[in-house]
Every structure is written in structure tokens, then in C-alpha cells.
Amino acid sequence: MKKRFFFGLLLLGTVPAFSQVTVTNDSDLPFDQAVVEIPWATVKKAFPAADTAQLKVLAGKNELPWQAERKGTKDIQNLLVQVSVPAHGSLKLLFQKGKPAPVPAKTYCRYVPERYDDFAWENDRIAFRIYGAALDKRSDNAYGSDIWAKRTSALILNKWYKQNDYHNDHGEGLDYYHVGLTLGGGDIGAFLGDSIRYIHNYQKWEVLDNGPLRSTFRVTYPTYVFQGITVQTVKTYSLDAGSQLSRILVETTHTAPGALPLVAGITLRKEPGMIVEDEKNGILAYWEPTHGKDGAIGVGCVFSGGNIKMSRRYEHALAHLSASGPVVYYSGGAWDKAGVITSGLAWAHYLDAFAARLRNPLKINL
């Protein structure tokens, strides 16, 4: 009897060694290397011994990369895990105590004081930047979002800024996308008096998380007065590994009597390009004309709610929104020379699939 009792205690002692949650995909599309959010409270409930210094996440025998997401706080908010789940399939994640394998950084963001207060961010697919206060009132000022065309999975921001020759392609890509005094690649502005009211350049910044699987930062803009209406804007950008699009949360404080009209827009070139305006599914896509030897860039916005009015005005493709509360949308780009998305049709297909996955995201179950 003593031996049996001791054996039972041994079995009970092994129970906290691992536990699991199930990631379920109810959609018709596979999720390939997607970053899924598991609330930290769920992790702790499934595996009370969870400790980020000693935590392995397994799918079968394969260890998966993960990141503790804090969203600018000292406490962990979510466990971000990169997973692949087939259509109408599921994946069991095992939590086990042990030193996790290092995860190479696939996303990165930073303030760039050496280039007139740029703020830049990137992942293993694409790179972006917005412009800060030091550029305002200069002759080379720009308002909207910039896209850096890259064809390497390596993180290149620090290297390119240090070399200061990123307008020329040395094998990794280049910045040839022109923004100027426009919304550029999917930025947002107020829409008052039948005109785009540009929010110009950010004034303050804060990094909330910085890789390896997701980088998130917040920027605050100066207060502007448009037609007697005071507008103050805060944007939070987030970019996941493997994604062509950033998530953008726009929080606006204003004195408009009702909802503040907004537009998210893509600047259009003089030469013909491919434009998709899918108002029902909330997809605005543009495949630019080929820019000589530099190739072609696709720019796109996805609005998760759908049913978005769209128009073409002021040399922009515009999606009309309103700020009665926080606004969330996704914006980004792709470069044909990267070899992943090489045509306007492929770009439209990518955005359509992206929108479909937003409508039917992965589900987490204990």
C-alpha cells in the first residue's frame, strides 16, 4: 500500500509540468505563421506555473516562438504565439516548464532622431515610416505614411539609416515611394468642408512592445483647428511578423457637434494603376504603375467592419469613416520585387483573404 500511495503522489506531482489550450480555425482559409493572442490570464489558468523565464510552447514535439506582450505596462497582457492552423482545423498548444529557445526578431520599431524625428517600423516582409515634428515646415516636409520596399527577411532599418543611401537599391530594396504632402500609403485625416484636413507630423512617441513577433508604438499629434473644430489625435501602430499590413488604432478628441468625418487614403499616381474599391468588405487596394527599374508597389487598407463608402478625389483613393469613438483599420503595402506578391491581382487576393480572416479569427479554448 505504501508503494502505491507513493506512486500516486509522483503522478500528481507531474501534472503541473505541462498543460494545454486549443487554437481553432473555423474559417475556409488556412492561417500560416499567424501571430495569435492568448490572454495571459488564460495561460495562467491553463498552466499556473507559467513563468516567462521558464516557459516552452509546444505543438506536438515542435517548439513554437512566442512573445510576452505588455502594451506599455509592466504586466504581461497576452502571450503572442506564431502558429499555423489549417482551414477548419485546430492546433493543441502545450505549455511546459523549461528554458525557451531564442526567438530571432522579426519585427522592430524605433524613433529616428538622426533623420528629423522619423518613426520607422518593419517586419520580415516590409517597412514603413511616418514623419515627426522636426520635418514640419521644412521644404521637404511630408505628411502621410511612407513604404520602404524590401526584399529580404532581415531587419534593415538601422542599417539603411546608418548608410543614408536608402533611395538606391543595393540588393535588399530601397525607399522610392513618394509621399509628399499627401496621405501617402494609407494614412488618415479629417474630412471637413469637402477637403482633406491633414494632421501633419507627430509630436510625441512611445514604444509599447518591440518584437520579436509584434512591435507596437503610440504617437501623439499636435492639436489642430479645422473650420473652428478642434482635433487632437493619438495613433497606435502594431505590426506582426509575416504581415504586409499594420494595425492602426486612431483615437480622436474633437469639438465637432457629432461624429468627426475622417478619410483614410492612398495617393494615386498620374500613370494608370489598378484600383479596387470593395465597399461591402471594406477593402481599398491600389497597385501602382511600374516605377521604371524599381518595380511596382501595392498599397492597401482593410476596414474590419465593412460597408465603407469610398471615392476618388484630390488625387487620392479615399475611404470615408467617422470618429464617434476609436477607429481601427489595417494599412500596408507589398513590393513585386520581394517575390511574394507580384501583381495587382495577387495583392487584391491577399487583402481579400486578410479581411476574411479578420471576420473569422482564430479562437482560443482551454
What's the pLDDT tens digit per position in 87-119? 999 999 999 999 999 999 999 999 999 999 999
CA 40 to chain centroid: 21
Do 151 and 241 sit in the same domain of this protein? Answer: yes
Do 92 and 111 sit in the same domain of this protein? Answer: no
Do 171 and 234 sit in the same domain of this protein? Answer: yes
The answer to whether residue 314 sits within a structural domain is yes
Do 182 and 49 sit in the same domain of this protein? Answer: no
Which CATH number does the domain housing residue 352 bear? 2.70.98
Do 348 and 250 sit in the same domain of this protein? Answer: yes
Confidence of residue 7 (pLDDT cuts 50, 70, 90): very low
Which CATH number does the domain housing residue 13 bear? 2.60.40.1180
Out of 3-7, 40-44, 219-223, 299-303, least confident range: 3-7
CA distances from 68 to 10, 56, 97 (A): 32, 12, 15
Which residues on adjacent β-strands are paired with residue 136? none
What is the DSSP secondary-structure string of 293-342?
GG--EEEEEE-TT---EEEEETTEEEEEEEESS-EEEEEEEEEGGGSSS-
Q: Which of 188, 122, 351, 332 is nearest to 247 (CA)?
A: 332
Do 281 and 230 sit in the same domain of this protein? Answer: yes
pLDDT tens column, 199-251: 999 999 999 999 999 999 999 999 999 999 999 999 999 999 999 999 999 99
The answer to whether residue 347 sits within a structural domain is yes
The answer to whether residue 253 sits within a structural domain is yes
Do 21 and 154 sit in the same domain of this protein? Answer: no
The answer to whether residue 239 sits within a structural domain is yes
Do 142 and 166 sit in the same domain of this protein? Answer: yes
- Where among 85, 102, 119 does a domain terminate? 102
The greatest distance separating any two alpha carbons of the chain, rounded to the nearest whole angstrom, comes to: 87
Mean pLDDT, all residues of the chain: 94
Q: How many domains does the chain have?
A: 2
Cell numbers given for 95? 505549455
Do 182 and 268 sit in the same domain of this protein? Answer: yes
Do 165 and 52 sit in the same domain of this protein? Answer: no
- Where among 36, 70, 102 does a domain terminate? 102
The answer to whether residue 364 sits within a structural domain is no
Confidence of residue 18 (pLDDT cuts 50, 70, 90): low
Q: Which domain holds residue 38?
A: 2-102
The pTM score is: 0.94
Instruction: Check pLDDT > 80 for residue 9.
Output: no
**SS3 (DSSP) at 357:** helix
Q: Which of 309, 319, 285 is nearest to 299 (CA)?
A: 285
> Which residues have a Cβ under 8 Å from the Cβ of 7 and sit 6 or more positions away?
none
**SS3 (DSSP) at 80:** strand
The answer to whether residue 350 sits within a structural domain is yes
- Where among 80, 102, 124 does a domain terminate? 102
Do 159 and 225 sit in the same domain of this protein? Answer: yes
The answer to whether residue 13 sits within a structural domain is yes
Whole-angstrom Cα distance, residue 182 to residue 130?
A: 12
- What pLDDT, on a 0 to 100 scale, did the predictor assign at position 20? 86
The answer to whether residue 152 sits within a structural domain is yes
pLDDT tens column, 275-299: 999 999 999 999 999 999 999 999 9
Do 95 and 42 sit in the same domain of this protein? Answer: yes
